[in-house]
Amino acid sequence: MLKEKLILAWNGIPVLLLVLVMLVLPVVMIAGSAQAAEYGEKPVLAIAFWAVVWVLNLICLGGFFTVQPNQGVVMTLFGKYVGTVSAPGLRFVNPFYTKKPVSLRVRNFETSKMKVNDKDGNPIEIAAVVVWKVVDTAEAMFQVDDYDHYVHVQSEAAIRNLATAYPYDSHMEHEVSLRGHTVEVAGRLKDEISERLSVAGVEVIESRLSYLAYAPEIAAAMLRRQQAAAVIAARQKIVEGAVGMVEMALEMLSEKKVVQFDGEQRAAMVQNLLVVLCGETSAQPVVNTGTLQH
């Protein structure tokens, strides 16, 4: 497996000045040799030499390239990986090197909305945002055909796999769900995408769900289910509070000896208090004009 190998390239500015001088000098020398030929001299070898020098310097112009900040340029020589240059600025290398720039900047993209089934088999729509960057230019260029396309495809595959591993909503205590445990789900998603993209020399910085909803065909039914669950949970809280208040009221009445109840009266008192506390409408008071026993 190819790994990134950083190489140093010459500073391009002094080399460029030298090449420009060596492009002008042969022209001057050839012109001087041509003048000498007018006086009967035969400077054929000199003209040939300076012509070769001029052509070689012209070829050297192909060795110049520019490296932008947060960019790496991958060098290959006749199909063999030579190394990567990451120092920004004007650089010069072997003019026969093939140069391919690779951006090292942080990128992000949002996947399309995908319809998948969650762990319970309910159809849901899900999408995510993935933040990533290239950390190994050699793997990005040579381990996969198109690393940008590879990141998109593998991220969507990881999201589909994640959706099938968790239910949309948890119905049991301590059960991780897509809607209720966003931090845990985001961590699992990042780990899975990172594992898939490690072969391409890509690091996943962050990944989070950006869209999550039931599919339209079951959205109405699931809404009624959520409403029913909310009503049941509210009723449970109301009953728990009412029972505690009734118990406290009976204990205080007994401790302060405000009134003494037998078993039947105690049951009636509990029933009346529960009706008052748990009822949805306001209780209508009834004035008892008789005794407590009648």
Indicate the domain borders of the chain.
10-100, 107-214, 219-278
Q: Which of 132, 134, 12 shows the shortest CA–CA distance to 84?
A: 134
Helix (H) or strand (E) holding 37: helix 12-38
* Domain 107-214, architecture per CATH: 2-Layer Sandwich (3.30)
Q: Could you list the pLDDT tens digit for every one of the 294 residues in the chain?
A: 788 999 989 999 999 999 999 888 888 887 777 666 665 556 677 778 888 888 999 999 999 999 999 999 999 999 999 999 999 999 999 999 999 999 999 999 999 999 999 888 888 999 999 999 999 999 999 999 999 999 999 999 999 999 999 988 876 767 888 888 889 999 999 999 999 999 999 999 999 999 998 887 765 666 666 666 677 777 777 777 777 777 777 777 677 666 666 666 667 666 666 666 666 566 566 655 555 554
The pLDDT value recorded for residue 294 is 47
Considering only CA atoms, give the Rg of the chain: 40
Residue 203, beta-bridge partner list = 133
Report, in this order, helix, strand and coil percent for the chain, each rounded to 5. Answer: 50, 20, 30
Q: What one-letter code names the amino acid at 219?
A: A
The pLDDT value recorded for residue 148 is 94
Q: Output b/e per residue, 109-135; b: 16+ Cβ within 10 A.
A: eebeeeebebeeebebbbbbbbebbbe
Give strand ranges (E) for the chain: 10-11, 64-67, 71-77, 80-85, 89-92, 98-103, 107-110, 114-117, 123-134, 202-214
The pLDDT value recorded for residue 261 is 65
Residues 249, 253: Cα–Cα separation, whole Å: 6
- Beta-carbon contacts of residue 185 (< 8 Å; ≥ 6 apart): 162, 166, 176, 178, 209
pTM for the model? 0.69
Measured from the Cβ of residue 200, the count of other Cβ atoms closer than 10 Å reads: 23
Q: Tokens standing for 198?
A: 């490690």
